[in-house]
Each structure stands twice: as C-alpha cells, then as structure tokens.
C-alpha cells in the first residue's frame, strides 16, 4: 500500500473515532483505536496522534486544528505525562 493511502486510512479511522464510533485498525482490523490531540489551548492548533492498542501502530499528524469537542493536552504537558497517555507506537506514515 502506498504511504499516502495508509495515511488517508488512518485519518479516516481517527475521524471516525473522534465521532464516537469504533473504527477498525487499518493494520490489524481490531477495534482498539485510541487518539490524543496535543495543542495550543487558545489557538486550537496542534498535533494528533492516533494509534491501535492491539498492534501498536499508528500515525502522527502535525499542524492540525483541534476540534472543539475533542479533549486536548496542552503543548507544555510534561513528557512523562505525554508518555503515560501516548504509547511509543510504530508510526506507519
């Protein structure tokens, strides 16, 4: 699969997860998707990590607008808290 297609699949999975659905992982087909926005709380600009807790793959998307309804961690969140929340997944993009 081309890399850009892989990214598109993951982005659609992320959007579906944010909407409250249970999308299947593009890599292993499990419904174990999790995500976290990290961004500037006033501008709502930041990045998105979306990953699968079953196969530990995912994507990192920088420069995104964080949707109002999504919880986000502030950009200055200490590393130890980020690492607790976001696993060291294999970035497929």
Q: Does 22 bind Zn ion (CB under 5 A)?
A: no
Contact region with Zn ion (CB under 5 A), list: 6-14, 47-55, 68-76, 84-92 = 47-55
Nearer of residues 34 and 44 to Zn ion, judged by Cβ: 34
Nearer of residues 57 and 61 to Zn ion, judged by Cβ: 57
Binding-site member from 25, 50, 66, 73 for Zn ion (CB under 5 A) = 25
Cα separation, 32 vs 57, whole angstroms: 11
Q: How far is the CB of 52 from Zn ion (least distance, A)?
A: 3
Specify whether the CB–CB gap between 35 and 49 falls below 8 A.
yes
Nearest partner of 72 among 52, 81, 32, judged by Cα:
81
Specify whether the CB–CB gap between 45 and 65 falls below 8 A.
yes
Token pair recorded at residue 41: 């709380």
Cα separation, 8 vs 50, whole angstroms: 12
Q: Does 89 bind Zn ion (CB under 5 A)?
A: no
Nearer of residues 15 and 55 to Zn ion, judged by Cβ: 55
């Amino acid at each position: 699969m081309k890399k850009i297609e892989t990214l598109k699949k993951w982005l659609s999975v992320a959007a579906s997860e944010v909407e409250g659905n249970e999308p299947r992982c593009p890599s292993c087909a499990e419904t174990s998707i999790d995500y976290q926005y990290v961004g500037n709380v006033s501008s709502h600009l930041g990045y998105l990590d979306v990953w699968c807790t079953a196969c530990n793959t995912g994507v990192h998307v920088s420069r995104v607008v964080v949707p109002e309804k999504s919880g986000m961690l502030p950009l200055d969140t200490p590393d130890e808290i980020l690492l607790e929340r976001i696993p060291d997944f294999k970035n497929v993009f």
